[in-house]
Amino acid sequence: MPPKQLSSMQKFAMQQQEAEKKAAAVAAKRAAVAAQQAPASASSSQGGAPKKNIGFLPPGYVAPTSKAAAAQQRKESFEYQFDEHFLVPERIAKAPSALVEAVNDFHYAMMNDHPRNRFYYELLKKHVTPETGVLEIGAGSGLLSMMAAQLGAKWVVAVEGSTEMCRLAQENVKANKLQDKIKVMNMLSTDLTPKHLPERPHILVSEIFGTMLLGESALDYIQDVRERVLRPDTVIIPQMGIQYAVLIDCPTLDSICSVTQWNGLDLSRVNSLKDTASCVFTKKYGFRMSSVPFKRLSEPIKILDIDFAKTNQGFTQLEREFRVKAIEDGTAHAILYYWTAFESADGNEIMSTAPWDTIDNFPRDMQWGQALQLVDAGKEGESEPTALVVKRDEEYSFMCCTSEDHVIVQLNFMGGSSDKHADPLADLEEVNLDDDDEAVEAGGADAQ
C-alpha cells in the first residue's frame, strides 16, 4: 500500500492539533510550576502578607501586628537550624535565618559590586540637589540613601522590610553622622503613606532586582508607590529595565545536566528526569557563566521591557510567542536569562548581568549571576528530552509563559524550520518523499 499522502487541509489540521497539544502541555507545565512555586513564596512571607498582595517579600520581613508571626519568627531564628550542642554566635543566634542567609548569600557581594554602586551614584548625582527629597525602597545597609545624603539631598527617607536590616542601616547612618538627613523606617513600601514623608519625594531610588529582573517584585512595589506616594514627575532610579533571553550552546552544561553512558553501560534512562521547566540560578550551583565556555546561538530576545515610571502589572499576556533567528549553527543546550537596568531611554548609565559584562565583576556574578533553563525540543509525551539543533538563519518559535507577577518566567520550544523533532509533519514529509503525485490525485488507496 503506498504511503498516505496528506492534503494541505489535513496538514493544516494536524499542525493545529499539534500546536494545541503543545499549548495544552505548556498550560499544564505552567500550572505545575506555579503550584511548585506557591509554597516557596508563601514561606518567604515569614508570617504575614502586606496590605497589597505582592509575590516577593524581603527575607526577614515580619508583619508587625501579627502575634502568630512573631512566634513564627522566633521559631525561624538562625539558631534553630542547628542541634543544641552546636555553637552559634550570639550576634546571629536570634536573627531570622532567612535574613542571615540572605546577607551571607548576596548582601556582602552586592555592596562590593563597585560598578553597581557607581551606577547608582552617577544617577543620583544627576538628579540630587539641595531641593530634592529622596525616597528609597529597600534600604539594606543604607548605602544608596547615604549616597543621596552625601550628594546633598534635602531629606532622605528609606523603608526596609527586615527589622534587623533596618537596625543595621540606622547604625550605619549614625556611624556616618547622617542621621539628621536620613530616616530609615522598618516597614514594607506597601505600608508607606505620604504622611510618613516631609513632602512627596522628587526621587525614588531602589535596587530590588533579583537574578531575574522582576524576581523580587520590583515592578509591583514601584507601581504601588507610584500610584500612592510619588509625584507625577518623580525621577525613578533606575527608570528602565529589560529582561533578555538568549539560546546558548554550552556542552559543559551537558556534563552536569544529562548523562549518556559509562564504559559501554547505557545510563540514558536517567535523562527522563531532566528538568527543562525551571529557571535555575547559576550562583546556586556555584559557577559563573563567564567562566564556562559557551556560544550564543541567537540574538537576545527581549522578554520584558519595563519603564518603571509607566509600566503597570498586566502589561503583557501570560503566554506570548517569540520567533527567534539562529545566528550560528549549534545545539541549544539552554536558554540564558540576563537583564540590563538603565537610567532612561536616552541615558547612558547601564547596569548589566550579562556574563560578557561581568567577566571582571566576581561580586555581581555571586550576587545575581544569571538564570538558565535547559531546552527540550521533543514532542509531548516522549520519555526523554530531545536536543534542539539549530541552523544559522533559521527561525524557531518559543512560547514565553510568565506568572501574573512576572516573578517566574519560562520559555518553551514550540517548533522550528529545520529540526525534525520540532516539526510534527517532518516524519510524514520524509515518508512521502518517494511518492508520486498520481497517487494523491487518484485519492490513493487509503483514501477510498
Quote the CA–CA distance of 13 and 15 in Å, as a whole number: 5
The single residue of 207, 299, 319, 438 carrying the catalytic annotation is 207
Known active-site residue 216: yes
Residue 58 lies near ligand SAM (rule: CB under 6 A): yes
Give the C-alpha separation, 434 to 443, whole Å: 16
Kindly name the residue from 199, 216, 328, 384 that is annotated as catalytic.
216
Question: Least distance (Å) from ligand SAM to the CB of residue 356?
Answer: 23
- Residue 436 CA to residue 448 CA, distance in Å, equals 17
Collapsed DSSP state (helix, strand, coil) of residue 87? coil
Q: Does 134 bind ligand SAM (CB under 6 A)?
A: no
- Does 138 help bind ligand SAM (rule: CB under 6 A)? yes
Per-residue mark of binding to ligand SAM, 191-220 (x: CB under 6 A): ----------------xx------------
Which is closer to ligand SAM, CB of 140 or CB of 241?
140
Residue 221 binds ligand SAM, judged by CB under 6 A: yes
SS3 (DSSP) at 3: coil
Taking residues 149 to 178 in sequence order and writing x for each that binds ligand SAM by CB under 6 A, - otherwise, the string is: ----------xxxx--x-------------
| Contacts of 236 by beta carbon, 8 Å cutoff, 6+ apart | 203, 204, 222, 226, 230, 308, 309
Strand pairing report for 235-237 and 265-266: unpaired
Three cell numbers written together for 442: 487518484
Q: Does 341 participate in binding ligand SAM (rule CB under 6 A)? A: no
Number of other residues whose CB lies within 10 A of the CB of residue 196: 14
Examine the residue annotation and report whether 349 is marked as an active-site residue of this protein. Answer: no
Phi-psi region of 282 (alpha: psi -120 to 50; beta: other; left: phi over 0): alpha
**45 interacts with ligand SAM by CB under 6 A:** no
Q: How many helices (H) and strands (E) does the chain have?
A: 13, 19
100 touches ligand SAM by CB under 6 A: no
Separation of alpha carbons 321 and 166, rounded Å: 42
- Kindly state the helix (H) or strand (E) to which residue 93 belongs, with its residue range: helix 90-93
Can residue 144 be called a binding residue for ligand SAM (CB under 6 A)? yes
Using the rule CB under 6 A, give the single segment among 11-19, 122-130, 141-149, 297-305 that binds ligand SAM.
Answer: 141-149
Q: Does 230 bind ligand SAM (CB under 6 A)?
A: no
Compare residues 30 and 116 and give the one whose CB is closer to ligand SAM. Answer: 116
The catalytic residues are 207, 216
Binding site for ligand SAM (CB under 6 A): 58, 110-111, 137-141, 143-144, 159-162, 165, 188-189, 207-208, 221
